[in-house]
Amino acid sequence: MTAKGCFLDFGGKWVVVTGASSGIGRACAVELSRHGARVVLVGRNDATLDDARTSLNGDGHEVLALDLSDLSAIGPTVARLAKQVGRLYGLCHAAGIVVTSPLSTSTVDVVQSMMTVNVQAGLELARHVTRRNVMEPDAGSLLFLSSIYGRVGAAGETGYCATKGAIAAAVRAMAIELARRNIRVNSISPGLVKTPMTDKALGPLTSEQVSALEQKYPLGPGTPSDVARAAVFLLAPATAWITGTDLAVDGGYSAQ
Ligand SMILES: NC(=O)c1ccc[n+]([C@@H]2O[C@H](COP(=O)([O-])OP(=O)(O)OC[C@H]3O[C@@H](n4cnc5c(N)ncnc54)[C@H](OP(=O)(O)O)[C@@H]3O)[C@@H](O)[C@H]2O)c1
């Protein structure tokens, strides 16, 4: 299925999607390809990325194995990528990790591991993707995955909440700074979405606890595609006047 002729068409523009091997990032890659984007799928494992690539619409997508916790590798890798494929239009930073841990065991290392992938890698990607010799000259669009946990708190999620609040704040600053170059920067704050990340996080809970959590969502829990459709909307060239915003995609959770 393609969305050719749709107002959200990307016309073959290149979008880098991190976290493309799993969950929300993978769904973003699929949905972007259905809207005519050429996608660079980023994750750590060639095999899972190749598998994700088979679910994309059309040919000509690229796979890039990169461990984002190695921040010093990001700049040279983006530069090599731009030499290989040409100018980039967009970035969707969906790679992320969560370590659920009470404050008493949220050590510097635990919090730093989340900060590195969820925040610093995203900023480092933005820094290099927006270089004048890397990004398309006339317009660009960056999207970051925040979370409703960047807006509201949750027990055991101090470090994770800090990373998601940080990225939403950084989005606003980047949006202001990059507007003069017509580069837009936005974030999405999903609520509970069924993915390998949530399977792991909810694993220790009883079925009653999981069901109580799900009942907090007026529209029920979401799917990766629910988030991916919003990602396409915010990244698309057509939504050229939207920047610095954080869109809750949470089945009504934060409206209560
Ligand atoms: N699921 C939810 O309910 C929910 C809610 C709010 C926000 N979010 C956010 O949405 C984003 C996607 O979450 P998800 O649920 O789709 O998670 P997921 O299924 O666990 O996928 C996480 C992705 O991040 C990649 N990744 C993790 N560490 C990496 C590293 N060091 N280098 C490169 N890639 C790395 C993984 O790639 P590998 O294949 O290399 O492991 C994987 O593709 C995250 O930022 C998360 O915080 C999720």
Q: What is the pLDDT of residues 165-202, one digit of tens each?
A: 999 999 999 999 999 999 999 999 999 999 999 999 89
Whole-number pLDDT of residue 1:
59
Provide the Cα torsion 150, 156, 158, 164; round to 10°. Answer: -30
Region 38-62 average pLDDT:
97
**For residue 2, pLDDT beyond 80:** no
Q: Please tell me the residue having the least CA distance from ligand 1 atom 47.
A: 96
pLDDT band of residue 248 (cuts 50, 70, 90) is very high
Q: What is the pLDDT of residues 228-243, one digit of tens each?
A: 999 999 999 999 999 9
What is the radius of gyration, based on Cα positions, of the chain? 17
**For residue 130, pLDDT beyond 90:** yes
Q: Which atom of ligand 1 is nearest to the CA of 26?
A: 43
What is the best residue among 17, 18, 24 to mutate for testing ligand 1's pocket, by most ligand atoms within 8 Å of CB?
24
Mean pLDDT for the chain?
Answer: 97
Among 114, 122, 187, 99, smallest CA distance to 148 is for 187
CATH class in words for 14-248: alpha beta
Domain ranges within the chain, ordered by starting residue? 14-248
Q: What is the pLDDT of residues 80-104, one digit of tens each?
A: 999 999 999 999 999 999 999 999 9
Q: Please tell me the residue having the least CA distance from ligand 1 atom 36.
A: 19
CA distance to 28, 56, 212, per residue, from 20 (Å): 8, 11, 30
Q: Which helix (H) or strand (E) holds 246?
A: strand 246-249
> What type of residue is 91?
L
